[in-house]
Amino acid sequence: MTTATVVKDIEKALQSLGVQRENKGSSTGSQWFAGGDMITSYSPVDGEAIGSVQMTTREDYEKVVETAEKAFKKWRSVTAPQRGEIVRQFAESLRKNKEALGTLVSYEMGKSYQEGLGEVQEMIDICDFAVGLSRQLHGLTMHSERPGHRMYEQYHPLGIVGIISAFNFPVAVWSWNTALAWVCGDVCIWKPSEKTPLTAVACQNLIAEVLKDNDMPEGISCLITGDYKVGEMMTHDSRVPLVSATGSIRMGKIVAQAVAARLGKSLLELGGNNAIIVTPDADMKMTVIGAVFGAVGTCGQRCTSTRRLIIHESVYDEVKNSLVDAYKQLRIGNPLDENNHVGPLIDKDAVEKYQAALKKVVEEGGKLLVEGGVLEGEGYESGCYVKPAIAEAENHFEIVQEETFAPILYLMKYSGDVENAIDIQNGVKQGLSSAIMTTNLRESERFLSYAGSDCGIANVNIGTSGAEIGGAFGGEKETGGGRESGSDAWKIYMRRQTNTINYSDELPLAQGIKFDL
């Protein structure tokens, strides 16, 4: 793929999505505010500037919140199925613009074109899920202990939902939240990563058009842009009852403390340190495929990326040798070229952390099986392309205990029963995704039992990376405990209310208490 071809594809995508080279950064729908200083988005693919947005000022933020509050009063009165219809139309818009948005995601973030398309498809899928959900926002009916009484519970919208998303899934995670929040009757304010602001501008353009076509008020979908200081406006704002934040553990702790200080609600999706356990009964072909994609997909920049491979000593050499051979076949380069497996890291800061991690694992006593390094020369001018690496390590190594957002895979042995492997897997502070490769039913059931994986996601005979929207996504421990996407994750976007109706002609008190006047 030539530079000219890339430029042509990006220009076409930007034009199709209504994204300019210079954009205002705060929006309440079709209305955009001028804002403050400019943020320039550079592509890790070639290092070129794609475009810029203006940072949201305090004044702009106040306009956004005031407009969102006003929109909420109307939006909550729209029936849930009608709200679902708006989300359905948004999904149709995504289908029409899938290629353009997928291209922009790939170019601005650096993931492969197929992954960019896959991310947009995930947006479409969660919208479809939300449409069905719009007719199933159900509560429970309970029997009252008092005669002539009926008890039930129902759910009401919260109000404004604040969304802080990360660069690695610049649009999908936003849609996980908004699609559900919208059908629940909430309005949303989104602060995307300052590293990927243009994809957010594109999404805001698409939903704004849908809302305008349906004569819906400004403020149902809002956008603010900037660094962490802009995010702090939301986390400290009592007008935002729920803040959903995706990012590092460090960031999540700051958000959680700020929101908790005002007794708000937070939904946290933070770091992962995900492991695959490989038992003697594993299907080796499936193991290699799952481990390689989990470790190098999105250049190791998924919260579900495979960081650790815990291999039984009896099959350790076989797995190790197969992985080393597989890594020799990886093609690293422009992610818009579908012949390549691995694209760049997001920026040079990420490259420095990758290099520091490789140095650290050796210093702690590890051994590099597949050496890493930064690629240079034609096609690698951005300085963000690195070689996926494999290192033998121990779980207690300081660097292994941390999450490095890069394609580094740590191999370690276990002996004896599968419980020993589970102990190693659980022996980190993160608890997002986990997997076991085995054809042994007893091993798989132990892994999934109360004494097994302590992660929010536990898979058998598939890798750690990726998730379907039908299941609730999230993790335990320092991953934050949040749940997004499928199952009953919708409940966090609503407030629960218990109702009791007395249809008798008396007023009996609960627990048989007598209070005669």
Task: Return averaged pLDDT per consecutive 10 residues of the chain, 517 residues in all.
Answer: 74 95 93 92 96 97 98 98 98 98 97 96 98 96 95 98 98 98 98 98 98 97 97 98 97 98 98 98 97 97 98 98 98 95 97 98 98 96 98 98 98 98 98 98 98 98 92 97 96 98 92 82
What letter would DSSP give residue 300? G
Per the residue annotation, which of 108, 122, 194, 269 is the catalytic one?
269
Model pLDDT, residue 512: 84
Burial status of residue 314 (CB atoms within 10 A of its CB: 0-12, 13-18, 19 or more): exposed
Most distant pair of Cα atoms in the chain: their distance: 91
Using only the alpha carbons of the chain, give its radius of gyration.
25
Quickly list H helices, 162-314: 172-183, 197-213, 228-235, 249-261, 284-296
Spatial CA neighbour of 91 closest among 210, 182, 220? 210
Residue 272 neighbours by CB under 8 Å, 6+ apart: 302, 303, 304, 305, 307, 403, 430, 432, 433, 464, 475, 479
From CA 503, how far away is CA 58, in angstroms rounded? 51
From CA 132, how far away is CA 143, in angstroms rounded? 28
Neighbours of 352 (CB within 10 A): 12
What distance, in Å, lies between the first and last C-alpha atoms of the chain? Answer: 87
Active site residue 269: yes
CATH of 3-270+480-496, one of 3.40.50.10300, 3.40.605.10, 3.40.50.720, 3.40.50.920: 3.40.605.10
Per the residue annotation, which of 303, 403, 455, 478 is the catalytic one?
303
**pTM as predicted:** 0.96
Model pLDDT, residue 4: 67
Domain ranges of the chain: 3-270+480-496, 274-468
From CA 120, how far away is CA 130, in angstroms rounded? 15
Model pLDDT, residue 375: 98
Q: Which fold has domain 274-468?
A: Aldehyde Dehydrogenase; Chain A, domain 2 (3.40.309)
From CA 154, how far away is CA 160, in angstroms rounded? 19
From CA 240, how far away is CA 497, in angstroms rounded? 19
3-state helix, strand, coil in the chain (%, to 5): 40, 20, 40
Residue pair 177/192 in contact by the 8 Å Cβ criterion: no
